[in-house]
Amino acid sequence: MRRVPLLIVLLTAAGCSVPRWPVDGIVTSPFGLRADGLSLEIHHGIDIDVPRGTPVRAMAPGRVAYAGSMRGYGQVVMIDHGGGTRTVYAHLSEIQVREGQRLEGRPVIALSGSSGRASGAHLHFEIRRRGRAEDPVPLLGGFPRP
């Protein structure tokens, strides 16, 4: 019997389409503890290597909770999917949605970039459930396609 990640069960039960990765690409920095120079820090999401200007899609339908700039994250979109689940898309070059906008399906919400504290073009992607960051890989049933 195939195990289905709980996030997929919860979102589909709430009437959302099956959640999907926002971009295809190689994960260059995983979730969790990582070395950053001389110290260790918690990485609250994953970094996916994509060229600048790659279309970024919403993981699932929802409402845009925030669209703008955040220190360190650069240009950011946060989407509330209901049931305490939010997603964060950061280091964007261009935002294509506005705060409060309802998203049906999985529309393009932004273009990838290197805004904020970033060493090159990529997408920083987080899933937060009830305010806590969780590793997107097991929640979405495995890594994105390269």
d(CA 12, CA 91): 28
Of 1.20.840.10, 1.10.10.10, 3.50.50.60, 2.70.70.10, the CATH number of 6-137 is: 2.70.70.10
Q: What is the pTM of this model?
A: 0.84
pLDDT tens track, the chain, 146 positions: 445 455 555 555 445 556 788 999 998 888 877 776 667 787 899 999 999 999 999 999 999 999 999 999 999 999 999 999 999 999 999 999 999 999 998 999 999 999 999 889 999 999 999 999 999 888 887 777 77
Domain-by-domain residue ranges, the chain? 6-137
